[in-house]
Amino acid sequence: MAEPQKKSGSVIGKLFKWALVLLLLVVATVVVVGQFVLDGKYDLTREIAIKAPPAEIHNQVGDLREWPNWLPFTKHDPSVNTTIEQPTGVGARQHWTSKNGNGELEFTSSDEEKGIEYTMLFDKKYASKGSLSYARAGDDTRVAWRMHGQNDDFLGRWMAVAMPYIVGPMFDEGLNDLKKKVEAK
């Protein structure tokens, strides 16, 4: 009577097959979630109290020429090259190029007591709206930096999920630098 044959194959081969199956499942999950579950919406707000009246804060926020004093994005990416077309008021406009992407920003509202609102377009396809608003709180002014939008493509939906973790800390850093700049005067 013949002995049953044992399955041949190394442990490494079996591990490789399981790793490949696992990798395919992860990729399929990322694709399905990105395509059918994520809606691409994001709404991010960070706040800080600054010991100054709104008009003093607006000297930094309402003038695009002052943004390099506190804006973290240019500090972390030395390849940013910004061109300002109009520095202040409604219609203030700048565009930039960098190794990490290009964009443009335009003020849609500017008030030294209330703050600014703006539209931003990143890489000609990711649009967002933002604001830096001021609210008096005793001797302080509460400054809230908000950005919200909707990304409809696959990568943009995943970027929307990452916004609080990538852009949120940058907003915190920018608000802290704004506070230092304004309170130093």
Percentage of residues of the chain with pLDDT beyond 90: 65
> What per-residue confidence (pLDDT) applies to 85?
96
Mean pLDDT of all residues in 125-147: 96
Residue range 95-124: mean pLDDT, rounded: 96
**Assigned token pair, 71:** 């804006």
Look at residue 43 and tell me whether its pLDDT is greater than 80.
yes
**Band (6; pLDDT cuts 50, 70, 90):** low
The region of weakest confidence among 17-21, 130-134, 138-142 is 17-21
Q: Cα separations (Å) of 76 from 70, 72, 82?
A: 12, 6, 14
pLDDT at 18: 85
pLDDT for residue 183 is more than 60 = yes
Q: Which residues 6+ apart lie within 8 Å of 67 measured at CB?
A: 60, 74
- Both structure tokens of 7: 């399955």
Sequence-separated (6 or more) residues with CB below 8 Å from residue 147: 42, 43, 44, 120, 128, 129, 130, 163, 167, 171
Average pLDDT rounded to a whole number, residues 47-74:
96
Give domain 40-183's CATH architecture: 2-Layer Sandwich (3.30)
User: What's the pLDDT band for 153 if we cut at 50, 70, 90?
Assistant: confident
Q: Per-residue pLDDT for 79 more than 80?
A: yes
Residues 6+ apart with CB under 8 A from 8: none
Report the side by side order of strands in the sheet with 81-86. 41-50, 140-150, 126-137, 115-122, 103-111, 93-97, 81-86
pLDDT at 147: 96
Query: Which of 7-11, 57-61, 99-103 has the least mean pLDDT?
Result: 7-11
Distances (CA, A) of 149 to 60, 92, 146, 160: 25, 20, 10, 9
What is the pLDDT averaged over residues 46-74? 96
Parse the chain into domains and list their residue ranges. Answer: 40-183
pLDDT at residue 50 is higher than 70: yes
Average pLDDT over residues 28-57: 82
pLDDT attached to residue 168: 94
CA distance 30 to 7: 34
Q: How confident is the model at residue 40 (pLDDT cuts 50, 70, 90)?
A: confident
With H, G, I as helix, E, B as strand and everything else as coil, classify residue 158. Answer: helix
Under DSSP, the state recorded for 96 is: E
